[in-house]
Amino acid sequence: MVERKKVTIKDVAKASGLALSTVSNALSGKNYVKEETRKLVDETARKLGYRASAVARALRMQRSFTIGVLIADVANPSSADFVRGVEDVAIREKCTMLLCNTDEDEERQILQMQTLYDRQVDGMVLISQHCESPRIRALLDGGTPYVLVQRRSSKWKDDYVGSDNQEGLAEAIRHAHALGHRRVGFVTGPLESSSARERLETFKQESARLKLSQSKSMIFEGRYTFDSGLAAGKYFTGMKNRPTCVLASSDMNALGFMQVALEEGLRIPQDVSVIGLDDISLAGLKSINLTTIQLQKRDMGAAAAELLMKRIRKPAKVGKPIILPTRLIIRGTTASPVAGGGKPDGN
């Protein structure tokens, strides 16, 4: 068996007709190489089967070409789109991505961050992570670039990418109001989260502006989980004057609420309307058909990774937050409270 000769960078230079230094700069990702030159080098390298030494590249560039991504719950269907957005950019930048699940536990997050630092990652994307405790801040302030996604600090300025929480919630509440609902319940997210607090504040403000029920009983403090939705379902369906519409802080707790409502003999949307948040893939199934606030999760992940790459290449002052718009997707779980012969809602 004849051993195949390993293709070198000199072979790529010879085949492309370019100088060895030009090929080296193109393969290293140097910004000053013309785009057409970079494409020629990449195409030539691909045809020849050239593979750069990751170790040599790291030593030459004094980078690990590895980024860390911390996610609150990898089992949550909404997490995948965030991660895919980060990965889209990581692949383009020829970086390896290390994914860490923290279960929203601060101690676990600290352990994961320390592990990533030990591996000398070039930077980190923190999706829905703790960012204000002294121990977390000490790690964040260590000099490694990072970008926060969907949860930001009220005390420190950080690079941040998030969704328009206020407009998303306001649009959902206006939709419920336009259908005739006046008793709208709300399942919050974890209130240590800035996004959850922003959404709760918007719910209160819009409810007051539209003269919806102001009873504190219309608010259930929850988490972004199916089990939290089950608990909210038991709470709201057990009320004497239960809400005619429930707005959930995630599709997962919306699904949990829907299961309990159906078990209690309530019809959706005739007896109770339901609005979720995320627009996970399950939400569009005909058997679920959930009205929900759509977040641009993959775009948020990509925007965070793009920003992180800029910080890795050239550290700079923190810029303005990147806020992506939301969209209300109206499906089959919302209707007028009188639909199907039910009694009209009252104040």
* Contact in structure between 136 and 108 (CB atoms under 8 Å): no
pLDDT tens, residue by residue, 264-305: 999 999 999 999 999 999 999 999 999 999 999 999 999 999
* Burial class of residue 49 (count of CB atoms within 10 Å of its CB; 0-12, 13-18, 19+): exposed
More confident residue, 77 or 303: 303
Round to whole Å and give the CA distance between 23 and 27.
Answer: 6
Q: Angle of helix 77-92 relative to helix 251-263, nearest 10 degrees?
A: 160
Element (H, E) at 277: strand 273-278
Stated pTM of the model: 0.80
Question: What topology does CATH give the domain 165-295+328-341?
Answer: Rossmann fold (3.40.50)
Report residue 115 as tokens: 């592990």
Lowest mean pLDDT among 85-89, 140-144, 303-307: 140-144
Q: Can 66-162+297-322 and 165-295+328-341 be said to share one CATH topology? A: yes
More confident residue, 21 or 118: 118
pLDDT mean across residues, the chain: 89
3-class SS letters over 88-103: HHHHHCCCEEEEEECC
More confident residue, 18 or 239: 239
pLDDT tens, residue by residue, 91-100: 998 899 999 9
Over range 317-333, report the average pLDDT.
93
Question: What confidence category does residue 43 fall into, taking pLDDT thresholds of 50, 70 and 90?
Answer: confident
Q: What is the pLDDT of residue 277?
A: 96
Contacts of 186 (CB under 8 A, 6+ apart): 200, 203, 218, 219, 220, 246, 247, 248, 249
Pairing type for strands 327-329 and 291-294 reads antiparallel
* Distance (Å) of CA 297 to CA 3, 67, 127, 156, 217: 47, 19, 11, 24, 31
Q: What is the pLDDT of residue 175?
A: 97
Residue ranges per structural domain of the chain: 9-52, 66-162+297-322, 165-295+328-341
Q: What is the pLDDT of residue 340?
A: 40
Which superfamily is assigned to 9-52 in CATH? lambda repressor-like DNA-binding domains (1.10.260.40)
pLDDT tens, residue by residue, 186-235: 999 999 899 999 999 999 999 999 999 989 999 999 999 999 999 999 99
Q: Quick one: what percent of the chain has pLDDT higher than 70? A: 91
Task: Give the HSE-up count for residue 8: Cα atoms under 13 Å, Cβ half-sphere.
Answer: 4
Query: Check: CATH 3.20.20.150 for 66-162+297-322?
Result: no
Lowest mean pLDDT among 209-218, 286-295, 315-324, 332-341: 332-341
More confident residue, 36 or 259: 259
Report residue 126 as tokens: 């923190």
Lowest mean pLDDT among 25-34, 103-112, 298-307: 25-34
Sheet of strand 123-127, all strands in order from the earlier edge strand to the far edge: 96-101, 66-71, 123-127, 146-149, 160-163, 322-324
Lowest mean pLDDT among 17-31, 48-62, 256-270: 48-62
